[in-house]
Structure 1
Amino acid sequence: MKEVFLKACRGIRTDYTPVWFMRQAGRYMPEYQKIRQKYDFLTMCKTPEIAAEVTLQPVKVLGVDAAILFSDILIPLEAIGLKVEFIEEKGPRVSPNIRTVADLKFIGELNLEKIDFVFEAIRILIKELNVPLIGFAASPFTLATYVIEGGSTKEFLNTKRFMFLEPEGFHKLMSLFTSATLKYLNEQIKTGVHAVQIFDTWAGILSPFDYEIFVKPYVKRLIESLKTVPVIYFSSNTAGLINHLKELNSDVLSIDWRIDIKDATDLLKDQPLQGNLDPLTLLGTEEELFKRAEKVLIGARGAKSHIFNLGHGVNINTSVDKLKKLVDFVHEFKFMEG
């Protein structure tokens, strides 16, 4: 198995910069679309052979240095007693909604047997892959936002109302989701994943004060309990939380494009970094793409180690050919001496 990604996760400088992409297994690939025409999204997630096939597609086509399991951050919710649906053009729907402390009665203990299809997909992939496999889960807070709001939102009105009206109840919810997420990720690790990524997609909606109170303790507990494999923490729109992020003690900190990676390396001493190209850069010219990729690579040179990635997931409109050229560019990039 190629070890360059895992070496970078451990803070070891590598001969070339490893690269993989969030949502690299997905809708922009013709191979994915052929399967998607036959099955709905949840069926794909719940059928181990299909999930494994989709996970393998970008590894074969792009030549990335790591695979990430094809699944969804909301999958564990069914294992705690909630209902999850994916509606075309509207996105996920979760029910019942948890908006008061009284609603916590709807949340049961995570039943791993209900989501064994996730672990079966991992078992298949471990036999097939020649690169490390990344498992993942939503952070307790990001998971909570979907459960409270019932799906995607821009305002997070119900989340913040619960947080500010019943703070103790919100802490109980966070504690429940931390325990469930820990159990879920530990089972992925036990089954064979080589690293895990925690997606805190909506952490950026919070002030530094509220992040410190309502999110940070639970993320720290999660990270500290998962140290048997490298742990990557990804958050979006959190440049204003950087002082808290550097105290999480994640093996790798994945940052988005809203902070210059050179500034991040200066602020995050001795921290392996992942990121942070704007995904929509791939919709422009190759000249502009490579110019910005070079800026990321040079800017990250001062980090303890660096894994090249996007600041968020691959956009559906991305050209497979252009993404492959980006992988080659990153792999072949040579730093000037001096």
Structure 2
Amino acid sequence: MHAFSKVSAQADDQRALLAVLRGERRDPPPVWLMRQAGRYLPEYRALREEKGGFLALCYDPEAAAEITLQPIRRFGFDGAILFSDILIVPHALGQDLWFEAGEGPRLAPPMTDGLLDGLVADHSRLETIAETVRRVVAQLPAETTMIGFAGSPWTVATYMVAGQGSKDQGAARRLAYGDPHAFARLIAAITATTIDYLCLQIDAGVMAVQLFDSWAGSLAPDQFRRWVIEPNRAIVEALHTRRPGVPMIGFPKGIGEKLPEYARDTGFDAIGIDETIDPVWADQALPPALPVQGNLDPLALVAGGDALDRAVAAVRAAFANRPHIFNLGHGILQDTPIVHVERLLAMLRQ
């Protein structure tokens, strides 16, 4: 277990992850794992059983702070990622939100016409998340970077339009083609709320933020530029203006060869890379000084053993000459053995 201490401005130079996001290379690289606070941890499962459903946990600042801190206590990761969900934004915009056991999120009414006119926004839901941040930061080790996050507008819109997740994001894609003006209004509303939400997180103590674009890979090139590049650039520009000095990570899953365009045109301070991207290619294709994050296959972590050792070595070798944050290519899986996470950290920290 890692002893906690108060975070202070003087501790910034101790935060390896924050240093890398600002362009400094560290060896060994700092490490955190997407979904590091979650179901693979017995302490998380115990608290969830005690407190109730997932959404109830997100809106319970005491419980959400405890969950955020659990993997920091156990593993001493360099970053603590806020325990919350990307669908807090549509909930704040007025959609009903709940989670079906074994089936995922549901939102009502579906925004099939892209119009928010019938919804009643409740931004107090965002303030509840900010309270979680304040509680975490008050207990965070001085060397740990607090990471906030939100969903990118395109990914959030896919859930809002369909009322749930989907395999091809077809409902949102159809609306974007069929009524681009209505869809643009929806994207604009999500973008504006996301900017305010991230500012709220930063004011509560977040030191860096990540935008998750889980479904960025589902769009044709022109649609990708309009619904992924442009809204993300707007958020980055607004945050850099309103909260200068706070690094921003963009994580566009599944975009493949569009990665250099995304990095160039959005303005993110660092780029998260998913497990399907060849890290050697990414290192060659991206600007040399740009910090990158990733991209170990989560299933290599589940497998462990020699497969894990080889995969870790390959990622580290590919990014040996640039600022690099070690992470997975997507979220940690719930059947990941804890001993494999310990093995990963031992390898990185040798």
Q: TM-score, normalised by structure 1?
A: 0.94
Quick check: 1:213 aligned with 2:226? yes
Deviations along 1:48-74, whole A, 9 cap, x unmatched? 110011100101111210100111111
Quick check: 1:307 aligned with 2:350? no
Letter aligned with residue 19 of structure 2:
K
**How do residues 236-251 of structure 1 correspond to structure 2 at under 5 angstroms?**
236-247=253-264, 248-251=266-269
8 Å contact kept, 1:235–1:255: yes
Aligned mates of 1:286, 1:106 — CA distance in 2:
54
Aligned mates of 1:297, 1:164 — CA distance in 2:
41
8 Å contact kept, 2:292–2:324: yes
Quick check: 1:118 aligned with 2:129? yes
**How many residues are paired up?**
329
Aligned pair partner of 2:347 in 326, 329, 334: 329
After superposition, the CA RMSD in angstroms is 1.3
8 Å contact kept, 1:24–1:58: yes
Deviations along 1:9-28, whole A, 9 cap, x unmatched? 01101132000000000000
**Structure 1 residues 108 and 140: CA distance shift in structure 2, 3 A:** farther
Aligned mates of 1:106, 1:259 — CA distance in 2:
41
Aligned mates of 2:192, 2:133 — CA distance in 1:
21
Letter aligned with residue 266 of structure 1:
Q
Deviations along 1:123-172, whole A, 9 cap, x unmatched? 11111001111000000111100001111111222111101100111111
Aligned pair partner of 1:233 in 247, 250, 261: 250
Aligned mates of 2:83, 2:284 — CA distance in 1:
34
**How do residues 282-321 of structure 1 correspond to structure 2 at under 5 angstroms?**
282-303=301-322, 305-321=323-339
Percent identity over the alignment is 37
Aligned mates of 1:42, 1:113 — CA distance in 2:
15
Contiguous gaps of at least 5 residues in structure 2: 1-10
Letter aligned with residue 240 of structure 1:
E
Contiguous gaps of at least 5 residues in structure 1: 333-338
Deviations along 1:231-287, whole A, 9 cap, x unmatched? 000111111312321222111100101111111111101211000011011121321
8 Å contact kept, 1:18–1:331: no
Deviation of 1:321 (Å): 1.6
8 Å contact kept, 1:63–1:324: no
Q: Which residue of 2 aligns with 1:135?
A: 148
Q: Secondary structure at the match of 2:24?
A: coil
Aligned mates of 2:81, 2:277 — CA distance in 1:
24
Letter aligned with residue 316 of structure 2:
L
Aligned mates of 1:205, 1:165 — CA distance in 2:
17
Letter aligned with residue 119 of structure 1:
A
Q: Which residue of 2 aligns with 1:276?
A: 295
Q: Secondary structure at the match of 1:215?
A: helix
Aligned mates of 2:81, 2:159 — CA distance in 1:
22
Aligned mates of 1:201, 1:106 — CA distance in 2:
27
**How do residues 2-41 of structure 1 correspond to structure 2 at under 5 angstroms?**
2-38=14-50, 39-41=52-54
Aligned pair partner of 1:170 in 162, 183, 187: 183
Letter aligned with residue 19 of structure 1:
V
8 Å contact kept, 1:208–1:240: no
Letter aligned with residue 209 of structure 2:
V
Structure 1's consecutive aligned runs of 4 or more residues displaced over 4 angstroms after TM superposition are none
8 Å contact kept, 1:262–1:302: no
Q: TM-score, normalised by structure 2?
A: 0.91
Q: Which residue of 1 aligns with 2:194?
A: 181
Aligned mates of 1:182, 1:115 — CA distance in 2:
12
Quick check: 1:260 aligned with 2:273? no
Q: Secondary structure at the match of 1:257?
A: coil
Letter aligned with residue 65 of structure 2:
A
Aligned mates of 2:260, 2:69 — CA distance in 1:
37
